[in-house]
Amino acid sequence: MTGRLQGRIALVTGASRGIGRAVAKRFAAEGAEVICLARTQGALEELSDEITAAGGKAVLVPQDLCAFDTIDHIAAAIYQRFGKLDVLVGNAGEIGGGLGPVSHYEPKHFQKAFDVNVIANYRLIRAFEPLLRQSDAGRAMFVTSGAASAALPYWGAYAASKAALEVMVKTWAAEVGRITNLKINLIDPGIVATRMRTQAFPGEDANTLTQPEDVTDVFVALAEPGCVRHGEIIPAQ
């Protein structure tokens, strides 16, 4: 690696597996100190061991993003320790209890998709914009999906929540674009071998799909201080 993120402080949600794990490892390899947030402490500890063994730095935050008020506490702790945040990656996602017709969704599953994919990211924006403004080059990126605009049958909760995420992030980008140095974007990773993909297509051979490590380049590019892209949806492959 070339140290493209040397000295940067980055927060990655959903860091215990899949794309989030791959991004956290790549950021650390590029020189960032990575704050890894996810619900599963054991998986976070394994990730930390791998990052440390490779010479990187990781801070673990075992937390459920749906405990919304804790996001404010995490932001306060990061401010006390670092005084800023350089990079925010909103990667954690929820399919909504599985696929099915809109009229058949259990309300709790539909709500869960919006809680993770929309409300948690709104709380991240609310809590971390002040810290990103403290950076010399604050960068934020959120993971979306082609499902947001495809209107695919049985993907209603996930698709609707990702569509809401896209509008929310683009709106935030439009609000701060001319008055701050922040660069804010969305990333569509495409079809990637993740647990969510396995949930949706259990018979699919994951070995035939793009692996999480193969989509990290765009995350690094958007996290760099020199990034000029803003308010876009950018494909990872």
Q: Which residues are catalytic?
A: 158
Encoded tokens for 41? 């402490």
102-106: long-range contacts at Cβ-Cβ below 8 A with a sequence spacing of 24 or more?
102/156, 102/157, 105/156, 105/157
CA distance 196 to 15: 14
d(CA 144, CA 162): 6
The beta-strand segments (E) located in 2-138 are 9-13, 33-38, 57-62, 87-90
Dihedral sign for Cα 35, 39, 45, 49, please: negative
| Rounded-to-integer distance, Cα 46 and Cα 93, Å | 21
Nearest-angstrom CA–CA distance, 76 and 38: 18
Torsion of CA 126, 127, 130, 135, to 10 degrees: -120
Structure-block tokens of residue 14: 């959903």
Distance CA 37, CA 47 (A): 11
